[in-house]
Amino acid sequence: MNAPTVAELVAKGETPEILFWVGCAGSFDDRAKRVTQAFVKILNAVNIKFAVLGTEETCTGDPARRAGNEFLFQMQAMSNIQVLNGYGIKKIVTACPHCFNTLKNEYPELGGNYEVVHHTTLLQQLINEGKIKMTEGGSFKGKKITYHDSCYLGRANNIYEAPREVLKALDADLVEMKRSRTTGLCCGAGGAQMFKEPEKGNKEINIVRTEDALATGATTVAVACPFCMTMITDGMKNKEKEDEIKVKDLAELIAESL
């Protein structure tokens, strides 16, 4: 698909308007790769001059920092900042709230100052500007969709409305879980939990959250984070609901309605 790297653009003497930071999940995880592709489809459809770092991208260091390994985090951050500053990157969009949070809130102290937006915010802007046009009577019209707040978008960065605005544009019937927005329950993957087995307890966090989603009666659970995607999808499989209830990223829902 059409996703030029910054290096390719620079070779042609061009610079991207915006850098799409794909993130490790979006690059390697099979399910998250489909979200990456859906988002690229949208970027191409609205003719945004974007680029990716390709193989020059590396982990932001988020999981290392949250697990306590500050050295590793800063090694990652500094080398990423060298690459980004070397290309003169000004604006970054990412579909991963963890990358978003780290790039936006933690890179400035280490010399990386960029305008960083999450893809849900960009999608909302594109819809508001009329650049994304949905097909009339889209397939989501009247269907119940619930939105699972990612901690790193919501509480961590106060982004609660942009993803909901995007869902409203689908003409879907947005239903809220009993815990949402500031009291939204974590999927269980944050703080580097994605990379280890949970501590001993009496239940899995993603199962509790999946039950919250099931209680709404929605047929689609919208997520905006690759880790939430994994956790809620696993929860649905555990509940044997994976055939009835779709777990989709906002970018996929929009891409399907273009």
Partner 1 sequence: MHYLQQILFVITLAVATYFIRKRVLRIRANINLGKQNEIKDHPSARLSNMLLVAFGQKKMFKRIIPASLHFFIYVGFLVINLEVLEFVIDGLLGTHRIFAPYLGGFYNVLMNLFEFLAVAVFLACVFFLTRRNVLKIPRFWSAEMTSWPRLDANLILVTEIILMSAILTMNATDQIVQTRDDHYVATGSLFFSSYLIPFFTNLDTSLLVIIERFAWWFHIIGILGFAIYVTYSKHLHIFLAFPNTYFAKLEAKGHINNMPVVTREVKSMLGLETVAAPDGEPGRFGAKDINDLSWNNLMAAYSCTECGRCTSECPANLTGKKLSPRKIMMDTRDRMEEVGKSLETGGPGLNDGKTLLNDYITKEEINACTSCNACVEACPVLINPLEIILELRRYAAMEESGSPAQWNSMFQNIETSFAPWKFSPSDRANWIDK
Q: Which residues bind partner 1 (CB under 8 A)?
A: 1, 3, 5, 22, 24, 26-29, 33, 36-37, 52, 54-55, 57-59, 61, 63-72, 74-76, 78-79, 82, 101, 104-106, 109-110, 151-152, 155-158, 182-183, 185-186, 188-205, 208
Give the residue with the Cβ less far from partner 1, 127 or 255.
Answer: 255
Least distance to partner 1 from the beta carbon of 54, Å?
A: 4
Q: Which amino acid is it at 162? A: A
Q: Which is nearer to partner 1, 128 or 182 (CB)?
A: 182
Min dist. Cβ of residue 105 to partner 1 (A): 4
DSSP string, the chain: ----BHHHHHHTT---SEEEE-HHHHHH-HHHHHHHHHHHHHHHHTT--EEB-GGG----SHHHHHTT-HHHHHHHHHHHHHHHHHTT--EEEES-HHHHHIIIIISGGGT---EEEEHHHHHHHHHHTT-S-PPTT-TTTT-EEEEPPPTTTHHHH---HHHHHHHHHTT-EEE--SS-GGGPPP-S-TTTGGGSPPPS-SS-HHHHHHHHHHHTT-SEEEESSHHHHHHHHHHHHHTT-TTTSEEEEHHHHHHHH-
Task: Return the number of other C-beta atoms located less than 10 Å from residue 55's C-beta.
Answer: 9
Q: At closest approach, how far in Å is the CB of 200 from partner 1?
A: 7
d(CA 237, CA 232): 9
The least CB distance from residue 49 to partner 1, in Å, is 16
**Nearer to partner 1 by C-beta: 24 or 132?**
24
Which is closer to partner 1, CB of 62 or CB of 248? Answer: 62
Which one, 1 or 130, has the nearer CB to partner 1?
1
Phi and psi based region of residue 130 (left: phi greater than 0; alpha: psi -120 to 50; beta: remaining): left
**CB closer to partner 1, 142 vs 200:** 200
CB closer to partner 1, 44 vs 128: 44
- For residue 253, the Cα-to-chain-centroid distance in whole angstroms is 13
Minimum gap (Å) between residue 142 Cβ and partner 1 = 32
Please state the closest distance from residue 206 (CB atom) to partner 1, in A.
Answer: 9
In the complex, what is the shortest distance from the CB of residue 181 to partner 1, in angstroms, rounded to a whole number?
10
